[in-house]
Structure 1
Amino acid sequence: MANGLRFKTARDLFVACPAVARDMRALPTEQRSIEFCRDLLAGPIPEEAITFCAYLLPDRAAVWWAHECLGHLSELLDKTDQELLALVRDWVSEPDSPRHRAAVSEAAATPPATPGAWIALAAEWRDNGFGVAGSVVGAAAPTAFQRHPAAHAVNAGVLAGLARVALADRFAVLSAFVEMGLQLAEIEAQRQSADAY
Protein backbone atom coordinates (compact mmCIF):
# COMPACT_ATOMS: atom_id res chain seq x y z
CA MET A 1 0.00 0.00 0.00
CA ALA A 2 2.90 2.36 0.66
CA ASN A 3 3.43 2.63 -3.11
CA GLY A 4 0.06 4.37 -3.41
CA LEU A 5 0.89 7.12 -0.93
CA ARG A 6 0.66 10.58 -2.39
CA PHE A 7 4.33 11.07 -1.44
CA LYS A 8 6.16 7.84 -2.17
CA THR A 9 9.43 8.95 -0.57
CA ALA A 10 10.40 11.48 2.06
CA ARG A 11 12.16 13.52 -0.62
CA ASP A 12 8.92 13.61 -2.67
CA LEU A 13 7.14 15.16 0.31
CA PHE A 14 9.89 17.73 0.95
CA VAL A 15 9.92 18.75 -2.72
CA ALA A 16 6.12 19.11 -2.89
CA CYS A 17 5.84 20.79 0.54
CA PRO A 18 8.94 22.93 1.13
CA ALA A 19 7.31 24.39 4.27
CA VAL A 20 7.92 21.07 6.05
CA ALA A 21 11.65 21.90 6.13
CA ARG A 22 10.84 24.87 8.37
CA ASP A 23 8.91 22.66 10.80
CA MET A 24 11.53 19.93 11.24
CA ARG A 25 15.29 19.43 11.26
CA ALA A 26 15.51 15.99 9.65
CA LEU A 27 16.74 16.00 6.09
CA PRO A 28 14.80 14.11 3.42
CA THR A 29 16.01 10.82 2.01
CA GLU A 30 14.89 8.49 -0.75
CA GLN A 31 13.41 6.25 1.92
CA ARG A 32 9.73 5.35 1.56
CA SER A 33 7.57 7.78 3.50
CA ILE A 34 6.22 5.26 6.02
CA GLU A 35 9.71 3.95 6.84
CA PHE A 36 11.12 7.49 7.07
CA CYS A 37 8.38 8.47 9.50
CA ARG A 38 8.99 5.42 11.69
CA ASP A 39 12.70 6.24 11.71
CA LEU A 40 11.86 9.77 12.84
CA LEU A 41 9.85 8.28 15.69
CA ALA A 42 12.89 6.23 16.74
CA GLY A 43 15.24 9.19 16.28
CA PRO A 44 16.49 11.96 18.55
CA ILE A 45 13.45 14.21 17.93
CA PRO A 46 10.47 11.82 17.77
CA GLU A 47 8.03 14.75 17.59
CA GLU A 48 9.17 15.22 13.99
CA ALA A 49 7.21 12.07 13.13
CA ILE A 50 4.06 14.04 14.05
CA THR A 51 5.17 16.84 11.76
CA PHE A 52 5.86 14.44 8.91
CA CYS A 53 2.40 12.84 9.31
CA ALA A 54 0.73 16.26 9.25
CA TYR A 55 2.25 16.94 5.82
CA LEU A 56 1.98 13.36 4.52
CA LEU A 57 -1.79 13.25 4.88
CA PRO A 58 -4.14 15.12 2.55
CA ASP A 59 -5.46 18.20 4.37
CA ARG A 60 -8.94 16.91 5.22
CA ALA A 61 -7.51 13.59 6.45
CA ALA A 62 -4.88 15.48 8.46
CA VAL A 63 -7.57 17.55 10.16
CA TRP A 64 -9.49 14.37 10.99
CA TRP A 65 -6.32 12.72 12.31
CA ALA A 66 -5.63 15.73 14.53
CA HIS A 67 -9.22 15.65 15.77
CA GLU A 68 -8.81 11.98 16.68
CA CYS A 69 -5.46 12.56 18.38
CA LEU A 70 -6.84 15.38 20.51
CA GLY A 71 -9.98 13.38 21.20
CA HIS A 72 -7.77 10.92 23.08
CA LEU A 73 -6.59 13.81 25.24
CA SER A 74 -10.03 15.22 26.03
CA GLU A 75 -9.44 15.14 29.80
CA LEU A 76 -6.46 17.48 29.25
CA LEU A 77 -8.41 19.96 27.13
CA ASP A 78 -10.66 22.75 28.36
CA LYS A 79 -14.31 23.18 27.43
CA THR A 80 -13.54 25.63 24.61
CA ASP A 81 -11.14 23.19 22.95
CA GLN A 82 -13.69 20.40 23.26
CA GLU A 83 -16.31 22.63 21.61
CA LEU A 84 -13.89 23.52 18.81
CA LEU A 85 -13.16 19.84 18.23
CA ALA A 86 -16.90 19.12 18.01
CA LEU A 87 -17.18 21.78 15.29
CA VAL A 88 -14.22 20.26 13.46
CA ARG A 89 -15.82 16.78 13.70
CA ASP A 90 -19.02 18.10 12.12
CA TRP A 91 -17.02 19.89 9.41
CA VAL A 92 -15.04 16.75 8.53
CA SER A 93 -18.26 14.75 8.13
CA GLU A 94 -19.76 17.41 5.81
CA PRO A 95 -17.05 19.85 4.69
CA ASP A 96 -19.26 21.34 1.98
CA SER A 97 -22.12 22.13 4.35
CA PRO A 98 -22.49 25.93 4.53
CA ARG A 99 -23.51 25.60 8.19
CA HIS A 100 -20.38 23.63 9.14
CA ARG A 101 -18.12 25.85 7.05
CA ALA A 102 -19.53 28.95 8.72
CA ALA A 103 -19.11 27.43 12.19
CA VAL A 104 -15.49 26.47 11.51
CA SER A 105 -14.80 29.88 10.01
CA GLU A 106 -16.18 31.55 13.12
CA ALA A 107 -14.22 29.18 15.39
CA ALA A 108 -11.03 29.91 13.47
CA ALA A 109 -11.37 33.53 14.53
CA THR A 110 -10.09 32.38 17.94
CA PRO A 111 -6.34 33.08 18.13
CA PRO A 112 -4.54 29.74 17.77
CA ALA A 113 -3.20 29.49 21.31
CA THR A 114 -4.68 26.09 22.15
CA PRO A 115 -4.72 22.68 20.47
CA GLY A 116 -8.39 22.91 19.43
CA ALA A 117 -7.97 26.42 18.05
CA TRP A 118 -5.09 25.24 15.84
CA ILE A 119 -7.21 22.40 14.44
CA ALA A 120 -10.15 24.74 13.75
CA LEU A 121 -7.70 27.04 11.98
CA ALA A 122 -6.40 24.09 9.93
CA ALA A 123 -9.96 23.33 8.80
CA GLU A 124 -10.53 26.99 7.90
CA TRP A 125 -7.27 27.20 5.95
CA ARG A 126 -8.08 23.92 4.18
CA ASP A 127 -11.46 25.34 3.15
CA ASN A 128 -9.75 28.41 1.72
CA GLY A 129 -7.19 26.52 -0.32
CA PHE A 130 -3.88 28.06 0.57
CA GLY A 131 -5.48 30.59 2.90
CA VAL A 132 -6.94 33.62 1.21
CA ALA A 133 -5.55 36.76 2.78
CA GLY A 134 -8.11 38.30 5.06
CA SER A 135 -10.19 35.12 5.34
CA VAL A 136 -9.10 34.39 8.88
CA VAL A 137 -10.03 37.01 11.42
CA GLY A 138 -8.22 35.88 14.57
CA ALA A 139 -4.94 34.76 13.05
CA ALA A 140 -2.73 36.01 10.31
CA ALA A 141 -3.34 34.43 6.94
CA PRO A 142 -0.52 32.10 5.90
CA THR A 143 2.35 33.62 4.00
CA ALA A 144 2.92 32.98 0.32
CA PHE A 145 5.93 30.80 1.20
CA GLN A 146 3.84 28.57 3.41
CA ARG A 147 1.89 26.71 0.74
CA HIS A 148 0.55 24.06 3.13
CA PRO A 149 -0.83 26.04 6.05
CA ALA A 150 -3.40 23.40 7.08
CA ALA A 151 -0.58 20.88 7.65
CA HIS A 152 1.36 23.47 9.65
CA ALA A 153 -1.70 24.17 11.84
CA VAL A 154 -2.42 20.44 12.30
CA ASN A 155 1.19 19.94 13.38
CA ALA A 156 0.98 22.82 15.86
CA GLY A 157 -2.32 21.57 17.29
CA VAL A 158 -1.24 17.97 17.78
CA LEU A 159 2.09 18.99 19.30
CA ALA A 160 0.34 21.49 21.60
CA GLY A 161 -1.96 18.69 22.78
CA LEU A 162 0.97 16.32 23.21
CA ALA A 163 2.76 18.90 25.37
CA ARG A 164 -0.03 18.49 27.93
CA VAL A 165 0.67 14.78 28.38
CA ALA A 166 2.75 13.76 31.40
CA LEU A 167 6.41 13.23 30.46
CA ALA A 168 6.31 9.60 31.56
CA ASP A 169 3.48 8.88 29.09
CA ARG A 170 4.43 11.23 26.26
CA PHE A 171 6.41 8.84 24.05
CA ALA A 172 3.72 6.16 24.20
CA VAL A 173 1.04 8.69 23.26
CA LEU A 174 3.23 10.18 20.52
CA SER A 175 3.86 6.69 19.10
CA ALA A 176 0.15 5.91 19.09
CA PHE A 177 -0.59 9.17 17.27
CA VAL A 178 2.05 8.47 14.63
CA GLU A 179 0.81 4.93 14.04
CA MET A 180 -2.74 6.26 13.69
CA GLY A 181 -1.49 8.82 11.14
CA LEU A 182 0.41 6.21 9.14
CA GLN A 183 -2.58 3.88 9.09
CA LEU A 184 -4.75 6.74 7.86
CA ALA A 185 -2.17 7.55 5.16
CA GLU A 186 -2.33 3.95 3.95
CA ILE A 187 -6.15 3.97 4.00
CA GLU A 188 -6.16 7.23 2.02
CA ALA A 189 -3.75 5.68 -0.49
CA GLN A 190 -6.02 2.67 -0.90
CA ARG A 191 -9.10 4.89 -1.30
CA GLN A 192 -7.43 7.07 -3.92
CA SER A 193 -6.19 3.99 -5.73
CA ALA A 194 -9.73 2.55 -5.80
CA ASP A 195 -11.12 5.90 -6.99
CA ALA A 196 -8.68 5.83 -9.92
CA TYR A 197 -10.33 2.69 -11.31
Structure 2
Amino acid sequence: MGSATDTTPPVTIAAAAGLRLQLARQLFGTMPEMADDITARPAEGEHVFDFARRLRLGETPEEAISLMAFALQPRPAVWWGHECLKAAPELLTEQDREMLALCEAWVAEPSEANRYNALNAGLHAAVRGPGAWLALAVGWASGSMAPEGLPPALVPLFAIGRALNAGVLTALARVPQDMRRRMLDHYVGMAEVLAKTA
Protein backbone atom coordinates (compact mmCIF):
# COMPACT_ATOMS: atom_id res chain seq x y z
CA MET A 1 0.00 0.00 0.00
CA GLY A 2 1.04 3.53 -0.59
CA SER A 3 1.19 6.13 2.13
CA ALA A 4 -1.90 8.08 3.13
CA THR A 5 -2.50 11.63 4.18
CA ASP A 6 -5.39 12.97 6.22
CA THR A 7 -7.42 13.53 3.07
CA THR A 8 -6.18 10.83 0.70
CA PRO A 9 -6.77 7.12 1.37
CA PRO A 10 -3.96 4.66 0.69
CA VAL A 11 -3.74 3.35 -2.87
CA THR A 12 -3.54 -0.39 -3.38
CA ILE A 13 -0.49 -1.48 -5.35
CA ALA A 14 -0.05 -5.14 -4.38
CA ALA A 15 -1.84 -7.81 -6.42
CA ALA A 16 -4.39 -10.03 -4.65
CA ALA A 17 -4.52 -13.60 -5.96
CA GLY A 18 -8.14 -14.05 -4.89
CA LEU A 19 -9.44 -11.42 -7.32
CA ARG A 20 -10.51 -12.21 -10.87
CA LEU A 21 -8.85 -8.96 -12.01
CA GLN A 22 -7.02 -6.28 -10.05
CA LEU A 23 -8.49 -3.19 -11.73
CA ALA A 24 -12.18 -2.44 -11.28
CA ARG A 25 -12.67 -1.01 -14.77
CA GLN A 26 -11.27 -4.20 -16.32
CA LEU A 27 -13.68 -6.21 -14.20
CA PHE A 28 -16.61 -4.17 -15.55
CA GLY A 29 -15.23 -4.74 -19.04
CA THR A 30 -15.39 -8.53 -18.67
CA MET A 31 -18.78 -8.49 -16.92
CA PRO A 32 -20.81 -5.50 -18.14
CA GLU A 33 -23.82 -7.00 -16.33
CA MET A 34 -22.28 -5.64 -13.11
CA ALA A 35 -23.69 -2.26 -14.14
CA ASP A 36 -27.16 -3.60 -13.28
CA ASP A 37 -26.08 -3.93 -9.63
CA ILE A 38 -23.52 -1.12 -9.26
CA THR A 39 -24.43 2.37 -10.46
CA ALA A 40 -21.10 4.00 -9.54
CA ARG A 41 -18.21 3.60 -11.97
CA PRO A 42 -14.53 3.05 -11.24
CA ALA A 43 -11.87 5.54 -12.22
CA GLU A 44 -9.18 4.66 -14.75
CA GLY A 45 -6.54 2.51 -13.04
CA GLU A 46 -8.56 2.20 -9.81
CA HIS A 47 -7.89 -1.04 -7.94
CA VAL A 48 -10.88 -3.14 -6.90
CA PHE A 49 -10.09 -2.56 -3.20
CA ASP A 50 -9.85 1.21 -3.66
CA PHE A 51 -13.13 1.28 -5.57
CA ALA A 52 -14.75 -0.83 -2.84
CA ARG A 53 -13.57 1.65 -0.19
CA ARG A 54 -14.99 4.53 -2.22
CA LEU A 55 -18.31 2.71 -2.62
CA ARG A 56 -18.47 2.00 1.11
CA LEU A 57 -18.24 5.73 1.78
CA GLY A 58 -20.72 6.67 -0.95
CA GLU A 59 -24.47 7.08 -1.10
CA THR A 60 -25.09 3.34 -1.60
CA PRO A 61 -22.50 1.49 0.51
CA GLU A 62 -24.17 -1.84 -0.34
CA GLU A 63 -22.57 -1.51 -3.78
CA ALA A 64 -19.23 -2.40 -2.14
CA ILE A 65 -20.71 -5.81 -1.33
CA SER A 66 -21.93 -6.14 -4.91
CA LEU A 67 -18.46 -5.30 -6.21
CA MET A 68 -16.75 -7.91 -4.06
CA ALA A 69 -19.34 -10.54 -5.05
CA PHE A 70 -18.28 -10.12 -8.68
CA ALA A 71 -14.58 -9.48 -8.05
CA LEU A 72 -13.59 -12.57 -6.05
CA GLN A 73 -12.47 -15.82 -7.65
CA PRO A 74 -15.12 -18.57 -7.25
CA ARG A 75 -13.76 -20.53 -4.27
CA PRO A 76 -12.84 -17.52 -2.11
CA ALA A 77 -16.11 -15.90 -3.21
CA VAL A 78 -18.21 -18.81 -1.95
CA TRP A 79 -16.23 -18.99 1.27
CA TRP A 80 -16.73 -15.26 1.72
CA GLY A 81 -20.48 -15.67 1.30
CA HIS A 82 -20.40 -18.55 3.77
CA GLU A 83 -18.56 -16.45 6.35
CA CYS A 84 -20.90 -13.48 5.82
CA LEU A 85 -23.90 -15.67 6.62
CA LYS A 86 -22.15 -17.26 9.59
CA ALA A 87 -21.35 -13.80 11.02
CA ALA A 88 -24.94 -13.70 12.36
CA PRO A 89 -25.81 -17.36 13.03
CA GLU A 90 -28.90 -16.43 15.03
CA LEU A 91 -30.45 -15.03 11.83
CA LEU A 92 -30.04 -18.26 9.83
CA THR A 93 -32.89 -20.66 9.14
CA GLU A 94 -32.56 -24.43 9.11
CA GLN A 95 -32.61 -24.29 5.31
CA ASP A 96 -29.76 -21.75 5.34
CA ARG A 97 -27.68 -24.06 7.54
CA GLU A 98 -28.32 -27.03 5.23
CA MET A 99 -27.24 -24.97 2.22
CA LEU A 100 -24.13 -23.73 4.05
CA ALA A 101 -23.08 -27.35 4.68
CA LEU A 102 -23.29 -28.02 0.92
CA CYS A 103 -21.21 -24.92 0.24
CA GLU A 104 -18.59 -25.99 2.78
CA ALA A 105 -18.34 -29.39 1.08
CA TRP A 106 -17.73 -27.76 -2.31
CA VAL A 107 -15.10 -25.33 -0.98
CA ALA A 108 -13.29 -28.25 0.69
CA GLU A 109 -13.55 -30.39 -2.46
CA PRO A 110 -14.73 -28.52 -5.59
CA SER A 111 -15.87 -31.65 -7.44
CA GLU A 112 -18.71 -31.80 -9.94
CA ALA A 113 -20.68 -33.99 -7.54
CA ASN A 114 -20.44 -31.39 -4.77
CA ARG A 115 -21.24 -28.61 -7.21
CA TYR A 116 -24.36 -30.39 -8.43
CA ASN A 117 -25.44 -31.18 -4.86
CA ALA A 118 -25.42 -27.46 -4.09
CA LEU A 119 -26.96 -26.44 -7.42
CA ASN A 120 -29.85 -28.89 -7.12
CA ALA A 121 -30.52 -27.87 -3.52
CA GLY A 122 -30.50 -24.18 -4.44
CA LEU A 123 -32.82 -24.71 -7.41
CA HIS A 124 -35.32 -26.71 -5.34
CA ALA A 125 -35.15 -24.62 -2.14
CA ALA A 126 -38.55 -23.92 -0.60
CA VAL A 127 -37.50 -20.31 0.04
CA ARG A 128 -34.93 -18.32 -1.95
CA GLY A 129 -33.13 -17.09 1.19
CA PRO A 130 -29.43 -16.27 1.58
CA GLY A 131 -28.41 -19.92 1.93
CA ALA A 132 -30.22 -20.90 -1.27
CA TRP A 133 -28.55 -18.03 -3.16
CA LEU A 134 -25.16 -19.17 -1.87
CA ALA A 135 -25.89 -22.75 -3.02
CA LEU A 136 -26.74 -21.37 -6.46
CA ALA A 137 -23.45 -19.47 -6.45
CA VAL A 138 -21.67 -22.81 -5.97
CA GLY A 139 -23.71 -24.32 -8.77
CA TRP A 140 -22.86 -21.42 -11.06
CA ALA A 141 -19.15 -21.35 -10.19
CA SER A 142 -18.26 -23.42 -13.26
CA GLY A 143 -19.56 -26.06 -15.63
CA SER A 144 -23.21 -26.16 -16.62
CA MET A 145 -25.96 -24.19 -14.91
CA ALA A 146 -28.58 -26.76 -15.98
CA PRO A 147 -29.64 -29.36 -13.41
CA GLU A 148 -27.79 -32.67 -13.55
CA GLY A 149 -28.99 -34.93 -16.35
CA LEU A 150 -30.16 -32.10 -18.63
CA PRO A 151 -28.24 -30.82 -21.66
CA PRO A 152 -25.43 -28.50 -20.51
CA ALA A 153 -25.99 -24.76 -20.42
CA LEU A 154 -22.83 -22.68 -20.16
CA VAL A 155 -22.71 -20.55 -17.01
CA PRO A 156 -22.32 -16.83 -17.78
CA LEU A 157 -19.26 -15.32 -16.12
CA PHE A 158 -21.38 -12.93 -14.04
CA ALA A 159 -23.81 -15.57 -12.67
CA ILE A 160 -21.86 -16.49 -9.54
CA GLY A 161 -21.45 -12.82 -8.64
CA ARG A 162 -25.16 -12.16 -9.12
CA ALA A 163 -26.07 -15.09 -6.84
CA LEU A 164 -23.51 -14.14 -4.18
CA ASN A 165 -24.67 -10.55 -4.25
CA ALA A 166 -28.27 -11.64 -3.69
CA GLY A 167 -27.26 -14.00 -0.88
CA VAL A 168 -25.07 -11.60 1.05
CA LEU A 169 -27.44 -8.64 0.65
CA THR A 170 -30.38 -10.81 1.73
CA ALA A 171 -28.41 -11.83 4.81
CA LEU A 172 -27.54 -8.18 5.50
CA ALA A 173 -31.23 -7.23 5.27
CA ARG A 174 -31.92 -9.58 8.22
CA VAL A 175 -29.44 -7.71 10.44
CA PRO A 176 -31.04 -5.17 12.81
CA GLN A 177 -30.88 -1.66 11.36
CA ASP A 178 -28.63 -0.28 14.10
CA MET A 179 -25.99 -2.96 13.40
CA ARG A 180 -26.28 -3.08 9.62
CA ARG A 181 -23.55 -0.57 8.75
CA ARG A 182 -21.03 -2.26 11.03
CA MET A 183 -21.90 -5.65 9.49
CA LEU A 184 -21.58 -4.25 5.96
CA ASP A 185 -18.08 -2.97 6.75
CA HIS A 186 -17.24 -6.37 8.25
CA TYR A 187 -18.40 -8.18 5.10
CA VAL A 188 -16.32 -5.95 2.80
CA GLY A 189 -13.29 -6.23 5.07
CA MET A 190 -13.55 -10.04 5.05
CA ALA A 191 -13.69 -10.04 1.24
CA GLU A 192 -10.45 -8.05 1.06
CA VAL A 193 -8.68 -10.35 3.53
CA LEU A 194 -9.81 -13.46 1.65
CA ALA A 195 -8.72 -11.98 -1.67
CA LYS A 196 -5.25 -11.28 -0.27
CA THR A 197 -4.82 -14.70 1.34
CA ALA A 198 -6.32 -16.92 -1.39
User: TM class, shorter-chain normalised?
Assistant: 0.7 to 0.9
Which of 6, 15, 19 in structure 2 is aligned with 1:4?
A: 15
- Tell me the C-alpha RMSD between the 2 structures: 2.4
Which consecutive residues of structure 2, in runs of 5 or more, have no partner in the other structure? 1-11
- Correspondence for 2:135: 120
Q: Find the aligned partners of 2:30 and 2:154 in 1 and give their Cα distance.
A: 17
Question: Would the aligned equivalents of 2:103 and 2:135 in 1 still touch at CA under 8 Å?
Answer: yes
- Structure 1 residue runs of 4 or more that deviate by more than 3 Å after TM superposition: 141-144
Q: Find the aligned partners of 2:154 and 2:143 in 1 and give their Cα distance.
A: 13
- Correspondence for 2:40: 26
Q: Is 2:171 the partner of 1:161?
A: yes
Q: Is 2:164 the partner of 1:149?
A: no
- Correspondence for 2:91: 76
Q: How far did 1:136 drift?
A: 7.5
Alignment of 1:1-197 (within 5 A): 2-5=13-16, 6-30=20-44, 31-96=46-111, 98=113, 100-111=114-125, 113-128=128-143, 131=145, 134-135=146-147, 146-188=156-198
Which consecutive residues of structure 1, in runs of 5 or more, have no partner in the other structure? 189-197
TM-score of the aligned structures, taking structure 2 as reference length:
0.82
1:126-169 residue CA offsets vs partner (Å, 9 max, x unmatched): 1425x3xx3379xxx9998x531011100100000000001100
Q: How many pairs align?
A: 180
Change in 2 beyond 3 A, CA 1:43/1:68: same
1:14 partner amino acid: F
2:68 partner amino acid: C
